[in-house]
Structure 1
Amino acid sequence: MAELLSVTKENGIATVVIDNPPMNVLSNKVAKELDEVFNELKEDREVISIILRGAGERAFMAGADIKEFPDRGKQKDEIDVHEVFSKIENIPKPTIALLNGFTLGGGLELALVCDIRIAEDHIKVGLPEVNLGLLPGAGGTQRLPRLIGASKAKEIMFTGELLTAVEAYRIGIVDQVVGKGNGGREAEELARKFAGKSLQSLSRIKHLINKGSNLPLEEGLRLEKQLFDELFVTDDAKEGVRAFIEKRQPVFTHK
């Protein structure tokens, strides 16, 4: 049973809330619970889309738990954050990160593994590890340059300075900026749109984009053809085509 995360489910949407006050930092326990919760959500047939957010209004996640740093590598139960984040990145369901407060260090790195990022306009984001003589160690040096380009990513990491929500939107770190307190509604509306689609389609689209972006074009196209052929014979594809011909909304069973 998770203690620092809570999960609610409704109408095909799971909302995961990180609740590690006061700033929802990424402790070893939070990482373990993220691993457990997302493993469960991956197998949950009732869940189609997932929202990840922080409790309260102060932080989505304000970095790693620095108090644990002196004992890093000494704990027998220490979990590999890279593995956890990669699992979240590749879960075969759409994920939305709702950035409802400070999103720093490991918090931004966690947000980067989600498919969509919605930011409330009061937030700050950044990778300030250089100020501690460290570097982003949970995927930031690899994922951020792929998202916004190498030069801008270097500037952000070299300076360790924080960006406003608007600045983060302008360079492509976040996909939407909404007013304070409105992020939950926007995330739920988008998650509902996703949940109304076929998971057979959604999972293959996500896999093709995540994997294909690291493949030569010809290999990516071959993979696309393979997954399209697989999808074409599913019950949901047949239902979607039939509903279009009959001029009605499809009823997907995710099979």
Structure 2
Amino acid sequence: MSEWDTIRLTFDGGVATLTVDRPDRLNALNVETLEAIEEALAEADEEGARALVLTGAGEDAFVAGADISYMRDLSTPEAQAYAELGHRVADKLERFPAPVIAAINGYAFGGGCELALACDLRVATEDAVIGQTEIDLGIIPGWGGSQRLPRLVGDEIARRLIFFGERIDAQDAHEHGLVGEVVAGDQLDDHVAELAADLAEKPAYALRAAKEALNQAHETSQEAGLRYERRLWSGLFGTHDQREGMGAFLDDREPEWE
């Protein structure tokens, strides 16, 4: 298994956990860290992870954002390359072939919020604080926030969050639909581990197809999305998991997934 200086990748059965490990910098994302995340996602895929958890080391931050000290003096071409790297990482989270859970412990600002937006599910601690705060740096979200945030919270709320750079607490984030659950800080790890373990026990091919179909809903017209869903749905017929799932239902027994 690969080792990196700024992240950790661990496995527990079918669950992979990717931890951004720069607590002294509130897990801010520099180039080295983004590249390491990209490599770790590829490794988790190769190892056949059936669920993935993304979190940050320490008690203060999930990911406090991009590395401002690095960004300050970037030229336009350099900023373009940094944006492309951040987009690649977010896209790979969004397209990872298994469900991804963001375990948001503490601050999730800017690029950290954007990585959370690219995950399938978001669970936050009660003391988490979340925001697209780029406007106060003289920039805008650059790793997908302007596109993914409105799909979660609606256009008006997204504009307010981005225009004002608002930092909102976990409960407000939950009310807006930005996170799915809020738990006590000392319950986050156990609760997310339970969610991930439950997902890892589901039929992997069907979960992957479900994720692809849900993602497609944001990419195209409803008519095209419905055609895509039909292809994915029918393509599952004849697989082991489809035969096993339906057979187990009819036999009144627990299925044994591939």
TM bucket, shorter chain: over 0.9
Residue matched to 1:65: 67
Of residues 243, 248, 251 in structure 1, which corresponds to 2:253? 248
Question: How far apart, CA to CA, are the structure 2 residues paired with 1:63 and 1:137?
Answer: 11
Cα distance per residue 1:198-248 (max 9 Å; x no partner): 111000000001013322222222111111111011011111111112211
Q: Which runs of 5+ in 2 are unaligned?
A: none
Q: How many residues align?
A: 252
Of residues 226, 229, 238 in structure 2, which corresponds to 1:233? 238
Cα distance per residue 1:72-109 (max 9 Å; x no partner): 31899996211121111111110000001101110000
Which residue identity does 2:122 align to in structure 1?
Answer: R
Q: Which runs of 5+ in 1 are unaligned?
A: none
Residue matched to 1:51: 53
Question: How far apart, CA to CA, are the structure 2 residues paired with 1:173 and 1:82?
Answer: 19
Of residues 169, 178, 183 in structure 2, which corresponds to 1:173? 178
Give the direction of change, closer, same or farther, for the CA distance of 1:212–1:78 in structure 2 (3 Å limit). closer
Which structure carries more helix by proportion?
2
1:58·1:100 contact (CA, 8 Å) conserved in 2? yes
Question: How far apart, CA to CA, are the structure 2 residues paired with 1:107 and 1:163?
Answer: 14
1:121 aligns with 2:123: no
Which structure 2 residues correspond to residues 87-98 of structure 1 after superposition, within 5 A? Answer: 87-98=92-103
Aligned-pair identity in percent equals 38
Cα distance per residue 1:7-49 (max 9 Å; x no partner): 111121111111012200011111001100001112222x100
Which residue identity does 1:199 align to in structure 2?
Answer: A
Q: TM-score, normalised by structure 2?
A: 0.93
Question: How far apart, CA to CA, are the structure 1 residues paired with 2:134 and 2:81?
Answer: 25
1:29 aligns with 2:32: yes
Question: How far apart, CA to CA, are the structure 1 residues paired with 2:184 and 2:173?
Answer: 15
Shift of 1:57: 0.6
Which residue identity does 1:31 align to in structure 2?
Answer: L
Displaced runs of 4 or more, over 4 A = 74-79
1:185 aligns with 2:190: yes
Residue matched to 1:152: 157
Question: How far apart, CA to CA, are the structure 2 residues paired with 1:104 and 1:53?
Answer: 14
Which residue identity does 2:67 align to in structure 1?
Answer: D
1:32·1:79 contact (CA, 8 Å) conserved in 2? no
Shift of 1:133: 1.1
Question: How far apart, CA to CA, are the structure 2 residues paired with 1:176 and 1:5?
Answer: 25
Q: TM-score, normalised by structure 1?
A: 0.94
Give the direction of change, closer, same or farther, for the CA distance of 1:143–1:77 in structure 2 (3 Å limit). closer
